[in-house]
Amino acid sequence: MKIAVISCIDDSWGGSEELWYQMALSALENGHNVSVSIRYTGTLAPKIIALQERGLIVHKRRGYIPRGIKVWRRIATKILHYGLNKLKSPYTDVKKERPDIIIYNSSLYQPAEDIYFQKLLTVLPVPYIIINQIVAEFSKPFVGIPSPAYNKIYQEAAKVYFVSKRNLETVKRQLCINLENAEVITNPVNLKDKSIVPFPIPINGQLNFATVGNLLTHHKGQDIILAVLGNDTWRNKNWQLHIYGKGAEEDYLKALCIHYKIEDKVTFHGHVSDIRQVWQQAHILLMCSLMEGLPLAVVEAMLCGRPVITTDVGGNREIITDGEDGFIADSPTTHSLNKALENAWASKELWESMGQKAHIKASSYFNEDIGNDLLNKILNMHDNI
């Protein structure tokens, strides 16, 4: 069977890619042909290179624009890409592959806004699957009723997978449709060892928060975290914040640390490939996401035996019980996060036992064989179409 994956990530790699990666790994091991169309950033992620060595075909398409470049250059690059895409579809290579099924790995409403994908389906009428990794709950890209293209692309898919029930319900509400072809699926985690990392003994009573994720405040809300920890009450408590991840807003976040006079209490570590290293020193995960699917950082922290402080977005409440194995802020605001932080701090003696409960919860939620399971779903689906 020929399986084509279209990846929409604006980076070389991310947590959103782990699901199709595991499926592709299983498919290649079982003798199927797999190709992937990526928005080429200039480098290939190590996991894509590893799949290439097993037979993956990689198609590099234009469209990537580095974050942080000057506005004029961004506009000029967009115009250039638009003109080139008019001359030649970015999915020409996918069409030439003539796959039996297409998997569109996406965020938000990308498949409904991707006119080139829609044109591809008219000339290559094969079944397609949408994997939706994240939905914005507090905004939508259209005013009022969506255009027919939004509903059509989801309703005509062979399957639409969501990574949380909350995301599925949000899309149904925003599109005003019932998606009978939808299903919730779990993402794999980037952990070989899923045992509890021993809870670190606080040195001189200091507690370490860890924030894990791309440094993009419209998504992960690190600026809200800094605003809360930078107020007079929190600034004088005995804590350190360790920020892991990379992104275009690193300089902005560092400037905020100076603005709130907490630069000596915040450390930026960049990207860490082994997440278990984070939990060798950190006591609790602190996130203030404005939108999510179900963040891998949450599941991985819980598997490592750490409670989580986060916001009530995406699937967070589906895996975290407030006050039992974590703490949930009602909304991604300074007021709500401050309240959740206060509740957590008042229970800091319980963090280790809460982390043990979090490990049990995440272990029951996590699907060790999700890549192979997804492949079997795809094969069965194709046979029944």
Half-sphere CA count of 118, side-chain side, radius 13 A: 15
The backbone torsions φ and ψ at residue 39, rounded to the nearest 5 degrees and listed phi first, read -80, 105
Sort 214 into a burial class: Cβ within 10 Å, 0-12 / 13-18 / 19+.
middle
Does the global pTM surpass 0.85?
Answer: yes
Residue-level pLDDT at 69: 73
Residue 290 makes CB contacts below 8 A (sequence gap 6+) with: 136, 138, 218, 219, 220, 221, 311, 313, 332
Locate all alpha helices (DSSP H) within 130-164, ordered by sequence: 148-155
Residue 146 makes CB contacts below 8 A (sequence gap 6+) with: 112, 140, 174, 175, 176
| Cα separations in angstroms, 215 against 9, 27, 139, 287, 364 | 15, 33, 20, 12, 30
Q: Where in the chain is the domain with CATH 3.40.50.2000?
A: 2-188+367-384, 203-365
Which stretches of the chain drop beneath a pLDDT of 70?
A: 81
- Under CATH, which number does the domain 2-188+367-384 receive? 3.40.50.2000
Distance CA 112, CA 381 (A): 22
Strands, sheet with 239-244, edge to edge from the N-terminal-most edge strand: 266-270, 239-244, 207-212, 284-286, 308-311, 326-329
CATH 3.40.50.2000 for domain 203-365: yes
